[in-house]
Amino acid sequence: MSSSTFPTATILGYPRIGRNRELKRALESFWAGRTTAPQLLASTDVLRRQTFERLSELGLNSSIGAIPDSSTLYDHVLDATVLLGAIPQRFSGDAVELYFALARGTQDAPPLEMTKWFDTNYHYLVPEIGPDTPIGYADTSVVNRWASASDWGWVTRPVLVGPVTYVALAKAAEGAPEGWSPLSRIDDVVAAYQDLLIHLAGAGVPWVQFDEPALVTDNLATPRSELIAVAEEAWKKLVAAPARPEILVTLPYGDGRAALPAIVRSGVEAVQLDLVRGELPDPGSVDLSSTTLVAGVVDGRNVWRTDLARAERVLRAAQDLAPASLAVATTNSLQHVPHDTALETWEDPELDANLHSWLAFADQKVGEVVTLARGLEQGWDAIAREVAEATLVLDKRKQAAGVVLPEVRDRVGALDDAARTRVPFSEREPLQTAALGLPSLPTTTIGSFPQTASIRKARADLVAGRINHAEYTERIREEVRHVIALQEDLGLDVLVHGEPERNDMVQYFAEQLDGFAATRNGWVQSYGSRCTRPSIQWGDVARSIPLSVEWTTFAQSLTDKPVKGMLTGPVTILAWSFPRIDIPLSESADQIALALREEIAELEEAGTAVIQVDEPALRELLPLDATKHAAYLDWSVSSFRAATSGVRPETQIHTHLCYSEFGQILDAIDALDADVTSIEAARSRMELIPELAVHGFGRAVGPGVWDIHSPRVPSTDELIELISLAENTVPTNRLWINPDCGLKTRDYPETLATLENLVAAATAVRNRIAAASTR
């Protein structure tokens, strides 16, 4: 192995979407047939060049592999699947056609499933691996991309999903024997990666990066200790490849200490640790005398300027561990943060000045890495001015208006156990039954109705100033009238207003709450071409205006049936925003809960009898480290209860959860103490329901019967069958009938057809039950 030293400053990855969402535009034109595959690839090449240029401008060395090539057409886990040729049987075609078939499905082949990447809000495409899935070195893109970058003048560092992480994230392919684990194919993946390494070496690649975050989490099917043992063997084999670049293994998103000794023993040249979420190993616990330690001290998960003094302290401690060499990096890929604060201006001049001094998006974080690396190379005095400035900004922030609101602190402090507790469900249930007068198996939806072109146009017209606020309100009211009339026609029992006024279930609330700032260009990739613009929670949260009351009461004025008030819960608001880090998340959650509690009181006062507080992100924030689960579940449940426990017993509280592995958090779902819990279940054919029942879930449940990710209209019979499955475990008097999730991404034709079938199915089952009981 020719030995080249690792660059002192690097990042683990960079946003892939482009400063102006170039990737999104290129993909959408290609999918719409306006451009060809070669044109698509040409435009992504332009984007890659711009990225490399930007990163070298910002100070990453362009000739020794400091610049990661973390670009992808859609998803980096999908890239690994294609690289390994691990294509499920239902797909055919080649190159770009096959790639997007896997990502988005075709007429005959549903796409790969999407799931959240570790504890982030990014979705990856889940590999499907069975005993017979082909696995080999099947795609030369990585080598080609490196060679093209090199032609343009940059020595980049290819970034790949590590072999253990790849198999640990895969699910067993259809037809695999019961209990079979994709982990048993690790040797095949290693063999394929060995081939890749040989090709990379042949091209002259000096460094390659493999991300192994599976080794820092306890939330996967395989215990972490087992994954670490597998990793040691896998990496020993890869290190022994007949020819290869030098290897960096990264351990982002969590504490890498448990995995570090195994990775170091394998003999890879460099290991990265997330030193914000995790810590340095104890001196003497691991021999770093021939390994480069890449210290992730600049946080790639948030938007806050780095406390450089803290980073310096960590780096000095790392120097004391005396690794063979030390480098500075981010904790993880910067794909989770927006590009550049320079693209933002906030209306309020004081807030604008403050936020610009407090924030660091991707480009600013690269700058911080480069500064710290200078300290490492030239001595800490060389960056004393930058460190002092960061400290000064942080100190000043503590005094800034709105960061601490004493009355909010007092009222949160006063939220005691009583404020978080309702009377027992056994007392609430009869009161609610009497108040609401619903049939058995009540039908409802999760909240949103299709977001039509006319809603999007109304929003765009308002933003562009083509209509005023009153005209906008009237257009949204028109939509609400339509949605209410439609639900009455369909015969649904508990109605919703359809959420047409919400661009996004978190942003909508964040924009109205004090303490949050929205961004204009702060896009972050959610999956493929989809981006979200998380709001920034910079100060104490307070509610100075009603958030949703106007819409719910307007909708209720149109019908005699109950209309559900719709709110987003504290955990989900935090999970899908950029929360502040100067106070614990639990404290921010309680502040949001208090604001929701006030909103709920006002809804109730206005006559709302059913109020739903969505917490779809409850599982997402579950810490990767199992020892932290209990504390997290405790505060997240408490904040939900603080929000919802101020109501009268006859007011019915619903919650909604979806698209995550709920098995681990059933106790917590139970502890939310919601009267009705709607939960995604159709996609997994009600697998969750027996789990809930075994668990002894003692309140009402609405297992989703329609997988809303597909335009497919399930037949009435199919729905009856799903309801019957649920009936086996949930008592009929506590069973609700609803879709898996909100309908905003669906179109009207399939929505109407399915809801019609859903009401018909509920009616049929009700009739069957009634007939049986009179017999």
Tell me the chain's radius of gyration from C-alpha atoms: 27
Q: How many residues bind ligand GLN (CB under 6 A)?
A: 13
Stretch near ligand GLN under the rule CB under 6 A, chosen from 69-77, 140-148, 247-255, 443-451: 443-451
Report in angstroms how near the CB of residue 688 gets to ligand GLN at its nearest: 15
- Is position 741 an interface residue for ligand GLN (rule: CB under 6 A)? yes
- Is position 746 an interface residue for ligand GLN (rule: CB under 6 A)? no
Report in angstroms how near the CB of residue 534 gets to Zn ion at its nearest: 18
Report in angstroms how near the CB of residue 507 gets to Zn ion at its nearest: 16
Question: In this complex, which beta carbon is closest to ligand GLN, that of residue 307 or of residue 499?
Answer: 499
Report in angstroms how near the CB of residue 678 gets to ligand GLN at its nearest: 9
User: What is the C-alpha separation between 323 and 260, in angstroms, rounded?
Assistant: 13
User: What is the C-alpha separation between 125 and 577, in angstroms, rounded?
Assistant: 23
Going residue by residue from 583 to 622, which x/- string records binding to Zn ion, judged by CB under 5 A? ---------------------------------x------
- Is position 616 an interface residue for ligand GLN (rule: CB under 6 A)? yes
| Distances 680 to 683, 703, 705 between C-alpha atoms, Å | 7, 6, 8
| Distances 271 to 82, 329, 336, 526, 621 between C-alpha atoms, Å | 26, 11, 21, 28, 26
Instruction: Please give the structure tokens belonging to residue 534.
Output: 């998380």
- Is position 653 an interface residue for ligand GLN (rule: CB under 6 A)? no
Question: In this complex, which beta carbon is closest to ligand GLN, that of residue 8 or of residue 652?
Answer: 652
Question: In this complex, which beta carbon is closest to ligand GLN, that of residue 121 or of residue 591?
Answer: 121
- With a CB cutoff of 8 Å and minimum separation 6, the contacts of 392 are none
Residues in 69-128 that interact with ligand GLN by CB under 6 A: none
Residues in 487-546 that interact with ligand GLN by CB under 6 A: 499, 505
H-assigned helices in 11-75: 22-31, 37-57
- With a CB cutoff of 8 Å and minimum separation 6, the contacts of 556 are 562, 563, 606, 607, 608
Residues in 698-737 that interact with ligand GLN by CB under 6 A: none
Report in angstroms how near the CB of residue 617 gets to ligand GLN at its nearest: 8
Q: What is the DSSP letter of 485?
A: H
Indicate the helix (H) or strand (E) that contains 271: strand 270-274
What residue 448 binds from ligand GLN, Zn ion, none (CB within 5 to 8 A, per partner kind)? ligand GLN
**Which one, of 143, 152, 102, 98, lies nearest residue 125 by Cα?**
102
- Is position 327 an interface residue for Zn ion (rule: CB under 5 A)? no
By CB neighbour count within 10 A (0-12 exposed, 13-18 middle, 19+ buried), where does 72 fall? buried
CB 347 within 8 A of CB 415: no
User: What is the C-alpha separation between 449 and 433, in angstroms, rounded?
Assistant: 26
CB 327 within 8 A of CB 355: no
Q: Which of 76, 336, 497, 709 is catalytic?
A: 709
**Which one, of 532, 632, 616, lies nearest residue 122 by Cα?**
532
Closest residue to ligand GLN in the complex (CB): 742
Stretch near ligand GLN under the rule CB under 6 A, chosen from 79-87, 192-200, 250-258, 441-449: 441-449
CB 646 within 8 A of CB 613: no
**Which one, of 43, 95, 51, 96, lies nearest residue 69 by Cα?**
51
By CB neighbour count within 10 A (0-12 exposed, 13-18 middle, 19+ buried), where does 417 fall? exposed
Report in angstroms how near the CB of residue 552 gets to ligand GLN at its nearest: 12
Q: Compute the residue count for the chain.
A: 775
Question: In this complex, which beta carbon is closest to ligand GLN, that of residue 447 or of residue 515?
Answer: 447
- Is position 656 an interface residue for ligand GLN (rule: CB under 6 A)? yes
Report in angstroms how near the CB of residue 742 gets to Zn ion at its nearest: 6
Report in angstroms how near the CB of residue 529 gets to ligand GLN at its nearest: 19
Report in angstroms how near the CB of residue 386 gets to Zn ion at its nearest: 44
Stretch near Zn ion under the rule CB under 5 A, chosen from 45-53, 650-658, 699-707, 760-768: 650-658
Question: In this complex, which beta carbon is closest to ligand GLN, that of residue 501 or of residue 614?
Answer: 614
Going residue by residue from 554 to 593, which x/- string records binding to ligand GLN, judged by CB under 6 A? ------------x---------------------------
CB 636 within 8 A of CB 618: yes
Stretch near ligand GLN under the rule CB under 6 A, chosen from 127-135, 408-416, 428-436, 440-448: 440-448
Instruction: Please give the structure tokens belonging to residue 86.
Output: 């691990």
- Is position 447 an interface residue for ligand GLN (rule: CB under 6 A)? yes
What residue 247 binds from Zn ion, ligand GLN, none (CB within 5 to 8 A, per partner kind)? none
| Distances 646 to 242, 652, 700 between C-alpha atoms, Å | 67, 12, 20
What residue 101 binds from Zn ion, ligand GLN, none (CB within 5 to 8 A, per partner kind)? none
| Distances 186 to 126, 213, 218, 256 between C-alpha atoms, Å | 16, 16, 19, 21
Q: Among 741, 755, 762, 765, which residue sits at the site for Zn ion (rule: CB under 5 A)?
A: 741
Beta strands in 114-264 (DSSP E): 114-116, 123-125, 128-129, 156-161, 171-172, 207-211, 246-251
Question: In this complex, which beta carbon is closest to ligand GLN, that of residue 11 or of residue 741?
Answer: 741
Question: In this complex, which beta carbon is closest to Zn ion, that of residue 278 or of residue 616?
Answer: 616
Question: In this complex, which beta carbon is closest to ligand GLN, that of residue 448 or of residue 588?
Answer: 448
Q: How many residues bind Zn ion (CB under 5 A)?
A: 3
| Distances 126 to 117, 167, 342, 572, 580 between C-alpha atoms, Å | 10, 10, 35, 23, 31
What residue 497 binds from ligand GLN, Zn ion, none (CB within 5 to 8 A, per partner kind)? none
What residue 566 binds from ligand GLN, Zn ion, none (CB within 5 to 8 A, per partner kind)? ligand GLN
CB 476 within 8 A of CB 500: yes
What residue 505 binds from Zn ion, ligand GLN, none (CB within 5 to 8 A, per partner kind)? ligand GLN
- Is position 658 an interface residue for ligand GLN (rule: CB under 6 A)? yes
Q: Among 75, 493, 602, 614, which residue sits at the site for ligand GLN (rule: CB under 6 A)?
A: 614
Report in angstroms how near the CB of residue 307 gets to Zn ion at its nearest: 36
Report the Cα 575 to chain-centroid distance in Å.
8
Question: In this complex, which beta carbon is closest to ligand GLN, that of residue 80 or of residue 613?
Answer: 613
Report in angstroms how near the CB of residue 527 gets to ligand GLN at its nearest: 14
- Is position 448 an interface residue for ligand GLN (rule: CB under 6 A)? yes
Report in angstroms how near the CB of residue 620 gets to Zn ion at its nearest: 12
* b/e map 736-762, b = 16+ CB within 10 Å: bbbbbbbbbebeeebbbebbebbbbbb
Going residue by residue from 19 to 58, which x/- string records binding to ligand GLN, judged by CB under 6 A? ----------------------------------------
Residue 482 annotated among the catalytic residues of the structure: no
Greatest alpha-carbon pair distance for the chain in Å reads 89
In this structure, the number of other CB atoms found within 10 A of the CB of residue 142 comes to 22
Question: In this complex, which beta carbon is closest to ligand GLN, that of residue 450 or of residue 528?
Answer: 450
Handedness of CA 521, 524, 525, 531 (dihedral sign): negative
Enumerate binding residues for ligand GLN (CB under 6 A). Answer: 446-448, 499, 505, 566, 614, 616, 656, 658, 741-742, 744
Catalytic residues: 709
Footprint of Zn ion (CB under 5 A): 616, 658, 741
